[in-house]
Amino acid sequence: MVSNAPVAGVGPDAFSEKKKDNNAQNNVETSDTDIEPAPPRYTPDNEEKDGSEEINYHTLTWWQAGVVMIAETVSLGILSLPAVVANLGLAPGIIVIIFMGVLSTYSGLVMGEFRKQYPWVESFGDAGEVMGRSIGMGKVFQEVFGWAQTIFQIFVMGSHLLTWTICLNTLTNSAACTIVWGVVGLAVFWVLNTPRTLKAAGYYSFASFASIFTAVMVTMIDVGIEKPIGSTSIEVSRAIGFTSAFLSVTNIAVAFSGHSCFFSVMSEFKQPNDWPKALILLQVCDTILYIVASVVIYIYVGPNVPSPALSAAGSPLVRKIIWGLAIPTIVIAGVIYGHVAAKYIFVRVFAGTKHLAKRTTVGVVGWLGITAAIWIIAWIIAQSIPVFSNLLGLVCALFASWFSYGIPGSLWLWMHYGQWFASPKKTAQFALNALLMLVGLLLCVLGLWCSGEAIARDSGTDPWSCKSNAA
């Protein structure tokens, strides 16, 4: 028998009282219509022991979570940034990277503040339900936000499968059909997605970070040797078309788009209050690495730097070595996105049952089936949009614009409704969160337009083709 009784001090009644107390202190009127979300869908502490193994979902320390997020965020984003800096020019490129990094850091802190108030939130779907209940649309918001998050993560998984095929074609001199390499990647990613928690990812994420860091360092060393300073043209700024410029901005936004996984990562913390430390570790590491890698590679390679940037190496042998070094990050970062997407679906399917937190036969089969299904969909996406930068731009416009910027801004506005201008600090925060929503809207609308134009005119690799996409 599954118990839905709330854990002491964690259920909706406790949080309703807390919210009323806070509102009373701030002279905010409340009513009985302010209904809080349901308590956690499953509480293993209240479950009768039946001999099956319980799964502990709270295993991450703050530094493990930081490394997991570095592995998830830095992987593909960094590969497009040298080409972005080459397109925008040195000064605008650096400014936009720093600006988007600061905004994404603040939006991550807002998400942490929101989950501190509502600790049962494990996804943007849950966050949508919290906001939607205030206007009687909790279920609608949950479905829209939750499935949008899952679709976004499946698109990112497709980006990793696409990068996998580029890698394998480069390493093997296109010894097999690109579709075949995609199927091989599908099997590899799925097998690594069989664990039900992020505990394992907390350890092999070190390999992922070491992988992308080493690959980028070798690339910078190689281009430094092959292209001495002074042999390429470096432009501090460039006059380019709007479509090209904005597509570059969306690629930078993708580099900071790990937010769709943040709630899920927070839900597996041992100490939830450690979230700011993990977030700062992520943002300091990724911003520094992005700037150094993109600037150095652009300076030595010049305006024709490719995307993904690992193909900038001059020697075919060195290029193969670099792509070989990058395999762990290509795979592991994709697996992290796969875990978060699968976990959301799994929780929705098995909510309120013992299969959610116990290793039952039904639970194991369900998890394996869900992970296999989403990787098959990701493989279809990878075969259908075979141009790396265009796929990243489309993903950002459709989803990352909202999860990294727009929705976090709306979360703050919702939490502090009625107090936006209560003090100079609140007024400044209101302006900053309004800016987040504006950035999200612009990235979505203009990014979709620019990505559509780029995909329509691109004469690169044909979809569903055996033709090599080696960089």
Neighbours of 29 (CB within 10 A): 8
| % pLDDT > 70, the chain | 83
The most confident of the ranges 16-25, 204-213, 288-297, 454-463 is 288-297
**Residue 53: pLDDT band by 50, 70, 90 thresholds?**
low
Retrieve residue 56's tokens: 């502990």
Return the number of other C-beta atoms located less than 10 Å from residue 267's C-beta: 22
The C-alpha angle 262, 99, 141, rounded to 5 degrees, equals 40
Residues 6+ apart with CB under 8 A from 62: 269, 271, 274, 275, 277, 278, 281
- Cα radius of gyration (the chain): 23
3-state secondary structure of 294: helix
119: pLDDT strictly greater than 80: yes
As a whole number, mean pLDDT of residues 402-422 equals 94
What gap in Å lies between CA 221 and CA 238, rounded to an integer? Answer: 26
- The domain defined by 65-457 carries CATH number 1.20.1740.10: yes
pTM of the model: 0.80
Cα angle 243, 246, 252 (rounded to 5 degrees) comes to: 145
- Are the CB atoms for 139 and 129 separated by under 8 Å? yes
Closest to 69 in 3D by CA, of 223, 269, 251: 269
Phi and psi at 54, nearest 5°, equal -80, 150
- pLDDT at site 280: 96
Question: Could you tell me the pLDDT band of residue 388, with boundaries at 50, 70 and 90?
Answer: low
Question: For residues 127 and 114, is the Cβ–Cβ distance under 8 A?
Answer: yes
Q: Which residues pair with 60 in a beta bridge?
A: 269
- Rounded-to-integer distance, Cα 294 and Cα 290, Å: 6
Q: What does the pLDDT average to over 311-327?
A: 87
Spatial distance between the Cα atoms of 337 and 333, rounded to a whole number of angstroms? 7
- Domain residue limits, the chain: 65-457
- In angstroms, the CA 371 to CA 471 distance is 29
Q: In the chain, what's the furthest Cα-to-Cα distance?
A: 73
Mean pLDDT of 347-376: 92
